[in-house]
Amino acid sequence: MPLDHYITLGRSGLRVSPFCLGTMTFGEDLGWGSSVEESQRIIDRFIELGGNFLDTANFYTKSHSEKIIGDHVGGHSARRDRLVIATKFSGNLYPGDPNGGGSGRKSIIAQCENSLRRLQTDYIDLYWLHNWDVHTPIEETMAALEDLVRAGKVRYLGVSDTPAWKIVEANVTARFRGWSAFIGLQIEYSLLERSVEQELVPMALEFGLGITPWSPLKSGVLSGKYTRQNAGQVKADRGPFAESHLTEKTYAIVDELNIIAKAHGSTAARVALAWVQSQPGVTSTIIGARRLAQLEDNVKALDVKLSAEEVGRLDALTKPIFGFPQSMQPFFPSIHNGGTSVNGISAPLSSFGVGKGDKVY
């Protein structure tokens, strides 16, 4: 599947490439990341390969990421209009100003105007709520976002890093009031982060939100760079973010990724990306690249087609253990189905059930 095999995002008509170019590393303002020139080369190559989906945020590299995109494509209408440019609000760039971030009406409108200015565009294709603001009623956030949509400054809405129940509240509120609802869900998702399968993924499948995973390689831990053989010898690029995950479990996963990669003539990173992209509900996986070579390598993951047996081996190593109430779900068929098979699922009668000759009161 090349980058120009587009997919509609969630329950919408917005066409996006199967990989989204994450730009959190654009700019060297934090002491790491890509230079302006390298960032531009990465954008150009991504577009050349058929990619049309760019993801940034108002406070990535202290707002420099948005400016790099704006300087390179925002000021060129023919290029800009062919792209789906997504950015996020919530991050506060202004120390001492409590309304500089969050999801209140005042801050959302100001953040949007500043993002439009930096991106050098009249509209944002997909505007993400970056993370849940517990201090702002969700109806205030959704009403402000609807105003931006009606003003033509925003085309679609998405939500990131927010509990499933709050997302459902937001979308149900929006639909009852005739407002725009979230069509996309951005969540951390990888072989090392599958807890999202307890609530967030089923919610997205039920309500039609297209999933765009971030950190599919867990900050590079699943890139194949860190192995059992070189444990402790290779310095992690992101320090504590990566080092805390260099455990026996991780090395077992990397070993399996390398075995599968060898069978495909590929790499561990591409196999890990292919696994994420194949998960139910996933529309477009966010891939970051600090160097052009990383982009070239990661995009080839779209050519990796994992067999059911290979997926099963990776699942066996990483399957999450869910808490209540999902932990009880295996028992429900015996309570619900009366000893019959429903949608291919059957189970023996519960001991609480009524047996032959028992009296029903």
Given the residues 60, 127, 156, 189, select the one marked as catalytic: 60
Q: Is 66 helix (H, G, I), strand (E, B) or coil?
A: helix
What DSSP element (H or E) covers 39? Answer: helix 36-48
214 DSSP β-pair partners: 188
d(CA 297, CA 279): 21
Indicate left, alpha or beta for 346 from its phi (over 0: left) and psi (-120 to 50: alpha).
Answer: beta
For residue 60, indicate whether it is catalytic: yes
User: Cα separations (Å) of 292 from 26, 190, 299, 342?
Assistant: 12, 23, 11, 51
d(CA 267, CA 159): 31
Where would I find the H helices in 278-322?
292-299, 308-318
Peptide bond into 325 cis (omega under 30): yes
Catalytic residues: 60
